[in-house]
Structure 1
Amino acid sequence: MKHPVDVHVGMRARQRRWMVGMTQQQLGEKVGIKFQQIQKYETGMNRISASRLWDIAAALDVPISYFFEGLDGAEDLAANAESNARPKGDLFADKEALELVRSYYSIPEAQRRRLFDLARVLSDAA
């Protein structure tokens, strides 16, 4: 049975991998494992060891703590695991939101800043 923490850590790894535009194959090559193992990590089917998490964090250019962000409490984890729901407030579990953020960061910085200012003005107007 999948442990909710393993599912969360795997989900965060998948989100980050997707955000940087890396395939499972590419991540597997960077950390020295097959892409099938990356798949199992990302679904929470297999638990990521501390040393492997260290390697994955380095390959994805994030601190280890990144993978644990958003973990609230044992009660929330258990409820999410039982209902197969995404954690409350987990915007990045939505593929469209991930795609939007990824596209946003691919825009040159000066234009991105102007787009951000426009979005802020539009949200204030709504």
Structure 2
Amino acid sequence: NVNNVETAVDLTHKPTGIRLFVTQERSQLKNKELAMSMLRAKLFQMAQEEQAEKIASARKFQVGSGTRSEKIRTYNYKDSRCTDHRLNSNFALDPVLSGEIEPLVQQCIAMDQQDRLKELAEEQQ
């Protein structure tokens, strides 16, 4: 029957280049359905792996190395200043200690937005 009737299905997903050749069933329609389900599973797996990779890289970026040299802020009481090492900015110490950290937070948000825009621009290229 294999020689008499062409039941094989050769399926190619053009965007990814995935190619499937299925000859398991005796019906071409069943082989086509099987190939489509296999392709869907493969595409779903690829999407999941990509999403997991993005989450892992974002988590690694947020956590950092955790070493002692990775400073976030230094409070210098003698000069009455607070230095944020991520922003490379100095702030008055008294307002920061009394809880007025809005300028610091706004600069952190702006830096985060710039980083995200750079990342998005790199993905587009």
Higher strand share: 2
TM-score, structure 2 as length reference: 0.24
Greater relative contact order, per chain length (Cα 8 Å cut-off, separation 6+):
1
Larger gyration radius, structure 1 or structure 2: 2
TM-score, structure 1 as length reference: 0.24
Higher helix share: 1
